[in-house]
Amino acid sequence: MSRPGEERTTAAVRPYVITRGRAGSSRDALPLETLVMASGSALPPHLQPEYRRIAGFCQGLLSVAEVAAHLGQPPAVVQVLLADLIGWGHIVARPPIRVVKRKRADLDLLRKVLDGLESKL
């Protein structure tokens, strides 16, 4: 919630080292509602299967939460592996639209959500 740019760009995602079985600090974790998709860039031949599996799965847009649920992997692991793939350019991310300080600028978003929900009735 703190660092400038964290909410809107992926530049702030720190390059994780290879972290199988290790969750990073939860503060830096890729939010579960981040949308991710394979960039289409060729994966290097030496890339570990865990990474390949995720990249192969992300042929369309999906949230981090969905990737974790479908692969049956703990989100803490998937968050770290996805952050690596983003850092290497194999995955592109659409960062979540978050409301942090609740200001007027959020009204547009909230009205869109309201309109969207009303159209489901």
Question: What is the nearest approach in angstroms of other proteins to the Cβ of residue 40?
Answer: 13
x-marked contacts with other proteins along 64-103 as a string, rule CB under 8 A: -xx-xxxxxxxxxx----------------xxxxxxx-xx
Give yes or no for a contact between 35 and 66, defined as CB atoms under 8 angstroms apart: no
CA 15, 20, 25 angle in degrees (round to 5)?
A: 55
Taking CB under 8 A as the criterion, the residue among 4, 5, 35, 46 binding other proteins is 35
Q: d(Cα 112, Cα 109) in Å, to the nearest integer?
A: 5
Q: d(Cα 18, Cα 23) in Å, to the nearest integer?
A: 11
Considering only residues 46 through 65, tell me which ones interact with other proteins, judged by CB under 8 A.
Answer: 50, 53, 56-57, 59-63, 65
Q: d(Cα 117, Cα 61) in Å, to the nearest integer?
A: 21
Which residues would be at the binding site for other proteins (CB under 8 A)?
1, 7, 20-27, 29, 31-35, 37, 50, 53, 56-57, 59-63, 65-66, 68-77, 94-100, 102-104, 106-107, 109-121
